[in-house]
Amino acid sequence: MTLKSLYARAVRKLKGVVLVDSHIHPSSKVEPGSHVVGSTFDRHSYCGYDCSILYADIGAFCSLANHLTIGGAHHPLDYVSTSPVFLSHKDSVSEKFARHDYLPLVRTRIGNDVWVGDRAMIRAGVSIGDGAVVGMGSVVTRDVPPYAIVAGNPARLLRMRFEQRIIDGLLALRWWDYDDDELRRIGPLIPDPEALLREKGIT
């Protein structure tokens, strides 16, 4: 590793993490530069550098890359103005011309074993199914089924990771709920979904 890359890494680490009203499982990790508000991370999940995650529930074993935007605030579309200068909650603007109560906290759900690629954006209120993959740079505006691979702007289905029989078996298996000892035991079977399902008596 060069001196320049070591310096860049050190600067990145110095950014720190902003966690507000959030619960991160002890086995999970939020990298520096990320801002996490009103959210939860289940076990063995991580998000990379410079992510913005607002009011989201992140499942177990999720791999969230750098520069992601997940969730966000809503603005009133049926008011005369969408500006927060007319709303009661605290925000980025200093002047208030009215104080109407409007702050719907729409939650976003990221299932278990989800992989989200670099610079993806996921709209507030969307649900990403277990085992799904979101391609880098994607803009996700609607729910993603379990084990789907989506990409693009707006994100569209490219293909399913497995045939439906395997998907149904994995959803029934719920391996992400296993304790660490059982995960170590089944670890050698992870490259072969069929073998794991057979071993567990799910065909």
Q: Are strands 69-70 and 52-54 parallel, antiparallel or unpaired?
A: parallel
Question: If DSSP codes are grouped into helix, strand and coil, which group holds residue 63?
Answer: strand
**Catalytic annotation present for 23:** no
Residue 134: closest CA among 118, 121, 117 = 117
Catalytic residue among 23, 74, 75, 100: 75
Q: Are strands 121-122 and 139-140 parallel, antiparallel or unpaired?
A: parallel
Residue 88: closest CA among 77, 100, 76, 80 = 100
Q: Which residues does the annotation mark as catalytic?
A: 75
